[in-house]
């Protein structure tokens, strides 16, 4: 890719990420092009469909989420590492309003590969942390990574329109992970 084309590509991705964070996955393509300082034709030359643009935005964010999982795998507390990663997943879901759902809708409507790679990356990253937590007896052995990700997504869906959605998601995730019973005091 020529240097100017690469700059346009990067500006489009950054503008799309900001627009999705503000307006959700249905953010206006014209607005994204305007924010990126490119014409609509340039946007469509790089990303022939909304789905391809959303997947590119999502892939960058998923790669960062997977890198977080890899970094946490080196932490000494497997249970805490898994909980920290699930909180990172919740931040990811809240920040990328409707992005994953839109990608999965696109996968069902047309190209099954859309969103599938990112989904697999998240499952694999979380499964490694979960397996480590299970080996340390920090998590029940009957819990699957799909269970945990479904829980995180349900929590995020429940608070997605709240002004303090991230704080509420974090609080609800803590309740889900620790239970509603009082925690023993450390005295």
With tokens 């994204």, the residue in question is 32
147-153 own/partner pairs: CB under 8 Å, 24+ apart: 148/82, 148/86, 149/89, 149/122, 149/123, 151/176, 152/86, 152/89, 152/90, 152/93, 153/93, 153/100
> Quick one: pLDDT band at residue 81, thresholds 50, 70, 90?
very high
pLDDT at 32 over 70: yes
Alpha helices in the chain (DSSP H): 3-23, 29-36, 40-46, 50-72, 78-95, 99-109, 116-135, 145-159, 165-178
- For residue 170, which of 83, 98, 80 has the smallest C-alpha distance? 83
Read off the tokens for 182. 């009082």
Q: Which of 140-144's residues contact partners 24+ apart within 8 Å by CB, and which partners?
A: none
Q: What span, in angstroms and rounded, lies between the C-alpha atoms of 120 and 55? A: 13
Please answer whether residues 106 and 143 qualify as being in contact, where contact means their C-beta atoms are separated by less than 8 angstroms.
no
Q: In the block, which residue shows the tokens 């599938």?
A: 116
The percent of residues above 70 in pLDDT, for the chain, comes to: 86
pTM: 0.76
Model confidence pLDDT, tens digit, residues 91-134: 888 877 666 665 555 544 555 555 567 778 889 999 999 999 99
pLDDT for residue 120: 86
Per-residue pLDDT at 173 exceeds 80:
yes
């Amino acid at each position: 890719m020529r240097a100017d084309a690469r700059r346009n590509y990067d500006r489009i991705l950054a503008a799309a990420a900001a627009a999705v964070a503000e307006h959700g996955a249905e953010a206006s393509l014209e607005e994204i092009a305007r924010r990126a300082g490119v014409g609509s034709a340039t946007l469509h030359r790089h990303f022939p469909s909304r789905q391809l643009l959303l997947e590119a935005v999502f892939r960058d964010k998923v790669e960062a989420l997977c890198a977080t999982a890899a970094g946490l795998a080196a932490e000494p507390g497997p249970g805490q590492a898994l909980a920290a990663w699930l909180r990172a997943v919740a931040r990811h879901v809240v920040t990328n309003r409707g992005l994953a759902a839109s990608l999965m809708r696109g996968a069902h409507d047309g190209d099954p590969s859309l969103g599938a790679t990112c989904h697999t990356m998240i499952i694999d990253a979380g499964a490694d942390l979960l397996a480590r937590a299970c080996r340390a007896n920090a998590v029940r052995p009957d819990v699957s990574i799909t269970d945990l990700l479904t829980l995180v997504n349900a929590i995020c869906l429940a608070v997605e329109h709240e002004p303090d959605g991230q704080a509420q998601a974090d609080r609800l995730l803590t309740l889900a992970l620790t239970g509603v019973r009082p925690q023993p005091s450390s005295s």
